[in-house]
Chain A
Amino acid sequence: MGKKLLRLGISSAVLAAVLAGCGNSGSADSATSSAATSAPSETSATQEASSNTNTELTVMVTNDWIDPATPAGEAMAEAIELFESQNPGVTVTLQGAASTDIKESFQTAALAGGGADIITTDNSGHAIDLAAMGLLVPLENFTTDEELIQKYQPGPLDSGKFQGKYYSLPWYMNCCGMYYNADRLDELGIAVPTDWQSLQDALKQVKDAGYGGIITYQSAYAFYAFFYQNGCKVIDTSGEKPAVTVNDAAGTEAWNYICSLIENDYLVESFKEATSWDKAYESFGNGDATFLFGGDWCASGIQKANPDLNFGIACMPQGKEQATVLGGWTWNINANSKHPEIAYDFITFMCSEQADPVLAPGGRHSARLDWDIQKALEGNETLLPLAEQFSYTMARPAIINEKAIDKIIVNALLEVEYGQQTPDEALAELTQNLQDNIDSNYN
């Protein structure tokens, strides 16, 4: 008997370790049902609005906003204070999480029926996943689509659109641009590339001179820009079920262009291990790479990596049309929130002019249509080329499991990089893998 118990004990401990996490999401069905009934009736909304006394809102943000000793944290604390003074009885409490796992932290808590009332998410598909799980409140409960469209940039707004409903209020936005080593281009007498051909010519000259070409974070992020510049959406999410378009004529042409960069060794060796932005900054900062594709946040990262580097920023090289890829963060309301109306008031406040000082310390740009870019960049004009792209910036496909989609695209690029497949073979497999992923997540 004792031995049996011992066996059972050890076996249990082993499997519990293996299955940690898998068995803790048992409340998904309850969370789903709560989401399905999350739309507050008018009566409850009215009651809520009239009884703000002692209401506590919890807000999950990335750690950058938590520490009041930092400029961003201080600005956030001041904005919250202003909101609280305008809404007596409401207390806002911040919860911090790392930007890399804020979605997972929230998801775990929300699936168990809890979680912060409000969560900020990266606009690269995080909100879509959470909405598909039934963990977010659709904004139609508080406002109309027309009002949102009139107020916010289309790219950031569409990044939170799932099955025809908006779930996210766009907070700030950025886009991918091209950083270049200014001293090196001067040394080689190369003009800053403005289109695909001039980029390829510049890379050839750089490589012939013994320097490295492009570095970027190892994700599909920067590569989406080339597809968009050729008029290909990669995945068309306008219909009821997403459709893969990466292999249409425009997509194939863009794919072949990207593969030509890879096959000519225009991506530096360290791209293979650039699984974080820090590694990309390092490669560009120490002169390994001549070009870096990334958003406005890269400027400070590069300066940290090498304060002496003389670099410039330009728009992404143009293809058939000008286009680049969107980044940024959005506000979302937890389906488990007991105060969705007040939560909506808070996120509206955070996206309003009143809370614009919160965006100032990091040089971030609001996703509102009335945002004055020129004014926001006063004193920091080097970032202007990035902001100039906003009018043609496009969001990544608003699709379930965007992170898995990203991995599929990166793997296809790596298949070419490692010489495992030809560009044609890799594109065919990429198309099939994207389709399989969509089929597994949509009816």
Chain B
Amino acid sequence: MSLHLKKNWPGYFLAAPAVFAILALSIYPLFRGIWMSFLNYNLVRAGDPAFNTFAGLSNYKEIFQDEIFLKAIINTIKWTILNLLVQLTIAMLLALVLNHNLRGKSVFRTLSLIPWAVPHSIAAMTFTFLYNANVGIINIIAVKLGIFSESISFLGNIDTAFWSVIVVSIWKGIPFQMIFILAALQGIPGDLYESAQMDGAGSWQQFWHITMPIIKQPVAISTILNLIGIVSCFNTIWLMTEGGPLYSTEIVYTYAYRRGFIDHNFGTASAASVILFLFMMLFSMVYLRLVRDNHQ
């Protein structure tokens, strides 16, 4: 046994349970999932001789020939970009406002965190109720104000479902992004702004030349973290529309779930998950690069 091990064995010993837990609950499913994407693994064909045999890239071929999967990829990209841009813009504005010395600042800050604290399931149910064609308050008000001639099924129409669901995701995601930006803003020394004002810089110049360069890195890191959450947002979509109507809210995550738990084909479900993983891996690598640059 090396000197290092001898010296540190109590540490290794204490860390071992956690390491084993991670190996069993994360690393094993990770590799098992990747491996399964290369297998014939349709559970309802468990008696088939080909079951659990190597399938090469056929699962990948199958999903890329599936129009629904291609639609899911487009929806995922649309979902991610829109979520990100709107969340970032609103979070930035909110953070800038809450960074000023307003009366009741702490109350506003606390209130703005509420959407983040609400569980996905509760948020999904609440908004489903708000959107309801019969008793939803949005329809009732819109009809009374004459905006709509009759109630609309927001979640039931292919033109409105995607936008209705994304509103919930944006509403829930803003606080996470905002709190990072606010923390970064609070780290900026006030004398920088005072000096800039003395030099005749306007509000926009101060924001662009002082605020933005300082908060750029923390914002980028929080954005990447947020992105991972956005791409893997399953609960809200599934609880509100199950990817419908006509797959108009289907993202890769819901597609993988459908292939696995409704069609029982875990081979294609794993293949779709691996594709999603590649998306997220890309974001993770960017995140790690940013963390490294930040430390340097």
Contacts and interface: CB of A to CB of B under 8 A. Distances in A.
Interface in A13-38: 13-26, 28-29, 31-32, 35-36
Given A22-B36, A22-B270, A400 B135 contact: no
Contacts of A411: 246
Interface residues on A, range: 35 or more
A28 B46 contact: yes
A19 B270 contact: yes
Given A3-B292, A14-B228, A18-B232, A404 B46 contact: no
A79 B273 CA distance: 46
Contact of B158 (A274, A279, A418, A440): A418
Contacts of A133: 43-44, 46, 264
Nearest to B276: A18
Contacts of A24: 29
Nearest to A33: B46
Contacts of A283: 133-134
Interface in B89-120: none
Contact of B52 (A28, A272, A440): A28
A441 interface: yes
Contacts of B171: none
Contacts of A17: 232
Nearest to A442: B45
A12 interface: yes
Nearest to B283: A14
Contacts of B81: none
A124 interface: no
Given A270-B134, A270-B153, A132 B262 contact: no
A23 B157 contact: no
A349 B280 CA distance: 53
B262 A401 contact: yes
A411 B133 CA distance: 20
Contacts of A274: 156
Chain B contact residues: helix, strand, loop or mixed: helix
Contacts of A13: 26
Contact of A16 (B26, B43, B246, B269): B26
Given A32-B51, A401-B264, A414 B246 contact: yes
Interface string B262-296: 11111001100110110011001101100010000
Contact of B36 (A23, A104, A270, A420): A23
Interface string B138-177: 0000000000001111111110000000000000000000
Nearest to B133: A270
A275 B30 contact: no
Interface stretch (B6-14, B208-216, B253-261): B253-261
Interface in A288-344: 288
Contacts of B198: none
Contacts of A19: 29-30, 32-34, 270, 273-274, 277
A269 interface: yes
A28, A111, A283, A286, most chain B CB atoms within 10 A: A28
A441 B261 contact: no
A18 B156 CA distance: 27
Contact of B260 (A21, A35, A440): A21
Contact of B135 (A12, A286, A407): A286
Interface in B52-84: 52
- Going nearest first, the 10 A-B pairs with the smallest beta carbon separation are A272-B156, A19-B33, A23-B29, A273-B156, A23-B32, A16-B26, A23-B33, A132-B44, A32-B46, A272-B153
26 contacts: A3-B288, A3-B292, A10-B287, A11-B281, A12-B22, A12-B26, A15-B33, A16-B33, A19-B32, A19-B273, A23-B270, A26-B32, A28-B41, A29-B51, A32-B46, A104-B261, A132-B43, A133-B46, A273-B131, A279-B132, A286-B134, A411-B246, A415-B246, A441-B42, A441-B44, A443-B48
Interface of A: 3, 6-7, 10-26, 28-29, 31-32, 35-36, 104, 111, 129, 132-134, 269-275, 279, 282-283, 286, 288, 400-401, 403-404, 407, 411, 414-415, 418, 420, 440-441, 443
Given A3-B288, A132-B44, A133-B44, 16 more contacts: A10-B288, A11-B284, A12-B27, A14-B277, A15-B281, A18-B232, A19-B30, A19-B277, A21-B260, A23-B270, A133-B46, A269-B133, A269-B151, A272-B133, A273-B154, A414-B245
